[in-house]
Amino acid sequence: MTQLTLASILTQPVGVSHYLIVGAVLFVCGALCMATKRNALGVLMGIELVLNGANLNFIAFGSPYLRKASETMGLDGQLMSLFVIVLAAAEAAVALAIALNFYNSFNTIDVDRADQLQG
């Protein structure tokens, strides 16, 4: 097991796990963003971050440089991430439309005010 030190990272190629950790950071940041922002647009940005983290994972699993060629997903990972990007764009458009509608209706952008569905 290779030591995860700064030096060893600088001198050796990185692996899937490094990418996964970066993805995890983005993912957790996105989730926290969703959990803490009261602004609806902030929540949206959190979602973008989460999707990005996931995307990074797909790329990492599909990359030929990060692990043995026999194990990689090849182009499948990249195609998946392409789809995710496209869907994220669509989702952003719809979510933004919803947010604007919400803003028009309630004259606020605070998601805590949108609690009409509470039990």
Partner 1 sequence: MDVATTLPKLLMIAWLLPLASFAITSLGYSVPQFLGIRVRYSTQVYAAYIAIGAIVLGFVLSCIALFGCWLPAHPLTAASHEGGEHAAAQEHATTSPSLFRYVAQHEAQEAASHAEEHNNEAPPYITGDWYALGIFGKLRLTIGYYIDTLTVTMFAMVTLIASCVHIYAFGYMHDELHDYTDHEVHLADGEHLHRRGRFHRFFQYLSLFSFSMLGICISGNFAMTFVFWELVGICSYFLIGFYIERQSASTAANKAFIVNRIGDFGMLIGLMTIWSTLGTFNFGDMKAADGTVVPGVFSQLHRPENHYRIAPTDSMIAFEGRNQIAEAIRKAGSTEPVAMEATVKAEVARLRAEDGTKWGHLLLFVAGVGIFCGCVGKSAQFPLHVWLPDAMEGPTPVSALVHSATMVAAGVFLVGRSYPLFSAEALLVIAVVGCITLFIAATIAVTQYDIKRVLAYSTVSQLGFMMLALGLGGWVAGLFHLITHAFFKSLLFLCSGSVIHAVHSNDMRHMGGLRKKMPITAYTMLVGCLAIAGVGVPFLAGFSGFHSKDAIVEQALSHWHHNWADGFSWLLFVVPVFSAALTAFYMFRLWYLTFAGEPQDHHRFDHAHESPRSMTGPLVLLAVFAVIAGWGLPSFAPGPFANFSIPNLLEQARPIGTLASKPGVYLSDLFIPSEHIAHAPEMFRPIKLPAGLAAITAAIVGIFLATVIYLWKSVSAAKLAAAMQPLYQLSWHKWWFDELYDFIFVRPVHAISAFIAQVMDRGLIDGIIHTLAWIARGCAMVVSTGGDRWVIDNVVDTFAEKTWNLGLSLRSLQTGRLRQYVMFIVVCTIVLFIVASVWRIAVAGP
Partner 2 sequence: MEDPIYWPSFFFLLFSAIACAFAVAVVVTPNVVRMAFYLVLSLAATAGLFFLAGADFVGAMQIMIYVGGTLVLLIFGVMLTSQDRFISMKTSNFELGMATGVGVCLFILLAVAARSIPEWHGLTAQQVAEIPLEPTAAPLGMGLLGARVDSPDRSGYLLIFEIISVHLLVVLVGAAYLARARRSRSGFSLTSDG
Looking at the DSSP assignment, which residues form a beta bridge with residue 110? 39
Q: For residues 26 and 56, is the Cβ–Cβ distance under 8 A?
A: yes
Place of tokens 């439309």: 97
119 binds, among partner 2, partner 1, none (CB under 5 to 8 A by kind): partner 1
Cβ count within 10 A of residue 49: 20
Q: Which does 118 bind (CB under 5 to 8 A by kind): partner 2, partner 1, none?
A: partner 1
Among 5, 35, 117, 119, binds partner 2 (CB under 8 A): 35
Amino acid (one-letter) located at 95? A
Query: Which entry of partner 1, partner 2, none binds 106, CB below 5 to 8 A by partner kind?
Result: partner 2
Residue 118 DSSP SS3:
coil
Interacting positions 39-98 with partner 2 (CB under 8 A): 39-42, 44-46, 48-49, 52, 55-56, 59-60, 62-69, 71, 74-79, 81-83, 85-94, 96-98
Tell me the sheet residues that pair with 5. none
What does the binding site for partner 1 look like in residue numbers (CB under 8 A)? 31, 34-38, 43, 111-112, 114-119
